[in-house]
Amino acid sequence: MDYTVEEKEAFMREALREAEIALKHDEIPIGCVIVKDGEIIGRGHNAREELQRAVMHAEIMAIENANVSEESWRLLDCTLFVTIEPCVMCSGAIGLARIPNVVYGAKNQKFGAAGSLYDILTDERLNHRVEVETGILEDDCAAIMQDFFRNRRKK
Ligand SMILES: [Zn+2]
């Protein structure tokens, strides 16, 4: 992955835009973009409430979107940017799509499977290993989640 810090922040800002779409639907604000050769080829946001689909996490929507635009299930040479650490399901899907690079903003201590609870993306027993980078716009990615849960508790 040879993007500069500025480029990574710009892509993460696009993922944050997706998170804001989720927020508009009053759902957990997580957003994702998939980038190939400096271009966004897939976008997604958590849409569990919007679509009433249990598995429609931001990463899944972005992978589906990128599969369609690439006309391929393999997303080689791609980097997935997501605002929050991927869960078990999404980490599995990242491997299945053969995505080699993942950049996420903030950790998810309760559900994270890319370093927190599990480390599926770099587990040596699996045949697909992913380069993982964390902490890009971490404060912004965490803040939108904290605001959401704080507001929800008030309701
Ligand atoms: Zn997930």
- Residues that are catalytic: 59
| Per-residue confidence band for 155, with pLDDT thresholds at 50, 70 and 90 | confident
Cα 62 to middle of ligand 1, angstroms: 11
Exposed, middle or buried: residue 137 (CB in 10 Å: 0-12, 13-18, 19+)?
Answer: buried
In this prediction the pTM is: 0.96
Cα 10 to middle of ligand 1, angstroms: 22
For residue range 85-138, list pLDDT tens digits in order. Answer: 999 999 999 999 999 999 999 999 999 999 999 999 999 898 888 999 999 999
Distance, CA of 82 to CA of 12 (rounded, Å):
7
Judged against a pLDDT cut of 90, whether residue 70 lies above it is answered with: yes
* Phi, psi dihedrals of residue 147, rounded to the nearest 5°: -60, -45
Cα 121 to middle of ligand 1, angstroms: 13
Return the closest-CA partner of residue 86 out of 56, 59, 65, 124.
59
Whether 85 contacts 109, CB under 8 Å: no
